[in-house]
Amino acid sequence: MSAYTMPEESPDSFTLRGRVYHRIREDILNGRYEPDEELREIAIGKSLGVSRTPVREALRQLELEDLVYIIPNKGAYVKGISQEDIQDIYMIRSRLEGLSARLAAEKITEEQLADLQEVLMLAEFHAAHGNFEKVFEMDSKFHELMYEASGSKQLHHLLSDYHHYVQRARKRSVSTNVRAGASTHEHRRILEAIEAHDPDLAEQLAKEHIINTIHNIQQKGIK
């Protein structure tokens, strides 16, 4: 198996503002901050070892992304991802994941197929042993590899963003034996359809996989 690599980062990731932006964004999406919690420029700058300027620029960028709201002359506050946002993202993902699986079934290379197979085998192993942190990690890798196999850079970028936005809900969703096992089984069926170069079935199964995740999140009241 070739070494798995995460999606390429944007050029802005390597600027000071970009690094600060990605760090704060990651903390918001991981639930480190509570909704409406103030993001203090001085405190964040001190923790990251930077001045207030890149922090302020990052917060403005996050405001454009609707993760932060800024009250003039008062400060910046966490908006985060709401339950409605999560539901919307998953409904959109159900369609786009289906398209990604369809394209993967048509375009996947032998190397990409081998990568997916190995990641899935690792996921199944960790699910059987209740290692949910690793199941979540392999879940993320499986989807990223499928997006890559679709051959569409735009679709890959869009789905990676959506996937990242709901990472907290995804992590909680696969943190039980039942759902972790069911999720890896669903991945197995998707992979078999892709390997068989059956785009219709791959698309159907990928949609069902996301819908099942939505139902699991709703039943558990996951946020």
Residue range 120-148: mean pLDDT, rounded: 92
Residues 63, 137 within the same domain: no
Q: What is the CATH number of the domain that holds 119?
A: 1.20.120.530
41 has a pLDDT exceeding 70: yes
Whose CA is closest to 209, among 192, 185, 193?
Answer: 185
Counted domains in the chain: 2
Residues 195, 156 share a domain = yes
Q: In terms of domains, do 55 and 137 share one? A: no
Query: Alpha-carbon distance 131 to 187, whole Å?
Result: 17
190-214: pLDDT as tens digits: 999 999 999 999 999 999 999 998 8
Q: Say if residue 70 is in the same domain as residue 146.
A: no
Amino acid 154 reads: Q
Q: Are 189 and 205 in contact (CB under 8 A)?
A: yes
- Among residues 78, 105, 137, the one where a domain terminates is 78
Domain contains 161 = yes
Spatial distance between the Cα atoms of 57 and 15, rounded to a whole number of angstroms:
12
Tokens at 213, concatenated: 């995740």
Does a structural domain hold residue 198?
yes
Same domain, residue pair 123 and 161: yes
Say which residues have a Cβ less than 8 Å from residue 38's Cβ, sequence separation at least 6: 75, 76, 77
Residue 4: its pLDDT value, please? 36
Per-residue pLDDT averaged across 18-41, rounded?
89
Question: Which domain-ending residue is among 19, 50, 78?
Answer: 78
174: Cβ–Cβ under 8 A, 6 or more apart, which residues?
A: 132, 135, 136, 139, 180, 183
Domain presence at residue 135: yes
Range of the domain at 113: 83-220
Distance between CA atoms of residues 41 and 59, nearest Å: 9
Last residue of a domain, one of 78, 111, 136: 78
**Both structure tokens of 71:** 């009250």
Q: Is the pLDDT of residue 77 over 70?
A: yes
Would you call 43 helix, strand, or coil by DSSP?
A: helix
